[in-house]
Amino acid sequence: MAGMFKNVFGSQGAKPDDDFADFVEAPNPSPASLLADTTTVPAVNTLAPNAVPYTAWYRVWERTSLSDFKQEAMIMPVILFIVLFHLWGARKNRRKARDWAQAHGPSLQKEFAVVGFEGIAQPTSEDAITVELANPESLIKERSACEFAAYATGRQNVAFLDVNLKMPKRYNPITYIMEYVFSFFFESWEPPVEKYEALLYAFDGKEKDLVPVLAKDTAPLKVPSSTYDGFIWAVVHKSHMRQFRNDRYDASITFSKDNPKLPSWVTVMTESAEISDTLLTPELIQAIEQAGNNFEYLIVTDQPVDKPTKIDETVPKKRIQLSANLASSVSGYSSTLPLFNQFLRLADKLVASAHFRAEVMRKIRNVRDEEIKKLRRIEEDEKAEERRLAAEKIKKDERERILRGMSAEEQRKFLDRESQKEQRRSMKKSTRKG
- How many separate helices (H) and strands (E) can be counted in the chain? 12, 11
SS3 271: coil
CA–CA separation, 118 vs 313, rounded Å?
32
Sorted by sequence, the CB contacts under 8 Å of residue 433 that are 6+ apart come out as none
CA–CA separation, 14 vs 360, rounded Å?
137
Helix axes 358-404, 408-433, angle to 10 degrees: 140
Tell me the sheet residues that pair with 195: 166, 325
Strands 140-144 and 120-121: unpaired
Which amino acid, one-letter code, is at 166? K
Sorted by sequence, the CB contacts under 8 Å of residue 353 that are 6+ apart come out as 278, 279
Helix or strand run (H / E) with residue 431: helix 408-433
C-beta of residue 107 within 8 angstroms of C-beta of residue 337: yes
- The pLDDT tens digits for 365-424 are 998 898 889 888 988 888 899 999 999 899 888 888 888 888 888 888 888 888 888 888
CA 206, 210, 215 angle in degrees (round to 5)? 85
pLDDT of residue 20: 47
Helix axes 70-111, 337-353, angle to 10 degrees: 40
Residue, of 421 and 131, whose pLDDT is higher: 421
- The pLDDT tens digits for 142-194 are 999 899 999 999 898 999 999 999 999 988 888 888 888 888 888 777 788 89
